[in-house]
């Protein structure tokens, strides 16, 4: 069956025309993406390509799934070449940076656990392995370092107090927050999480670098070890 060209669509369904008439906020996700893609192929219009991209990670993912697609996944779609794929990846990265800028502003201050969770959520919520990070702060509670300490397996990220405080001392930090994700989507702390939190807190007390919190990220939720009484 021959695909429908964009010009065959009713005017109110054509992305460019609808955007001009109603504004971009009235476009569907697929229509917004088709404007970025611009041209289709001999098999599919740009709108049809957009719908294929949005369905790559399942119907629940939508635009959020775009943030986690890879270059090979995108170029596997007929009509999406390397240039278009790179443009889409860059749009995803721009959206991450815009979100982080909105969350933290210019001073990168983190007052509550949810501020930390908001800052990392879109980067870490869909990872298939645990990632362990350290946020390092100066005496004014401004973040001066964001360090990836390790990447683990599906259910384990490897980190030690020694590795953590080597980075803290390198940045001359006076306090830190640890952050890691649970790929299962459940942020409930494991026994290993609790033990590591206590070990880091005790080691930090010896060298006067305070552990402010350890945040465990799930899919759409988080746990603060401080709020649970482990810090």
pLDDT at 100: 63
pLDDT of 134 reads: 95
CB atoms within 10 A of CB 87: 15
- Res 171: pLDDT: 93
CA distance 221 to 67: 19
Beta strand spans in the chain (E): 131-137, 143-151, 175-181, 210-217, 222-224
Report the mean per-residue pLDDT for the chain. 85
**pLDDT, position 156:** 58
Q: What is the largest CA-CA distance in the chain?
A: 72
C-alpha distance from residue 194 to each of 19, 38, 130, 163, 213 (Å): 51, 50, 16, 17, 11
Q: What is the mean pLDDT of residues 218-223?
A: 90
pTM higher than 0.75, yes or no? no
């Amino acid at each position: 069956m021959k695909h429908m060209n964009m010009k065959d669509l009713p005017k109110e369904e054509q992305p460019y025309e609808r955007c001009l008439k109603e504004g971009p906020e009235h476009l569907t996700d697929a229509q917004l993406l088709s404007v970025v893609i611009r041209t289709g192929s001999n098999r599919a219009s740009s709108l049809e390509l957009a719908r294929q991209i949005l369905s790559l990670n399942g119907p629940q993912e939508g635009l959020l799934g775009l943030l986690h697609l890879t270059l090979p996944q995108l170029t596997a779609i007929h009509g999406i070449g390397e240039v278009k794929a790179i443009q889409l990846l860059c749009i995803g990265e721009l959206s991450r940076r815009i979100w982080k800028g909105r969350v933290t502003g210019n001073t990168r201050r983190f007052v509550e656990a949810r501020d930390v969770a908001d800052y990392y959520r879109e980067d870490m919520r869909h990872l298939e392995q645990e990632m362990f990070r350290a946020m390092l702060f100066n005496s004014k509670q401004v973040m001066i370092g964001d360090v990836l300490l390790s990447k683990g397996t599906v259910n384990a990220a490897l980190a030690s107090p020694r590795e953590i405080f080597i980075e803290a001392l390198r940045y001359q930090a006076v306090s830190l927050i640890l952050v890691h994700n649970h790929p299962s989507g459940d942020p409930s702390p494991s026994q290993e999480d609790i033990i590591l939190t206590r070990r880091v807190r005790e080691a930090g007390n010896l060298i006067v670098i305070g552990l402010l919190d350890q945040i465990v990220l799930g899919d759409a939720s988080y746990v603060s070890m401080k709020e649970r009484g482990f810090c």
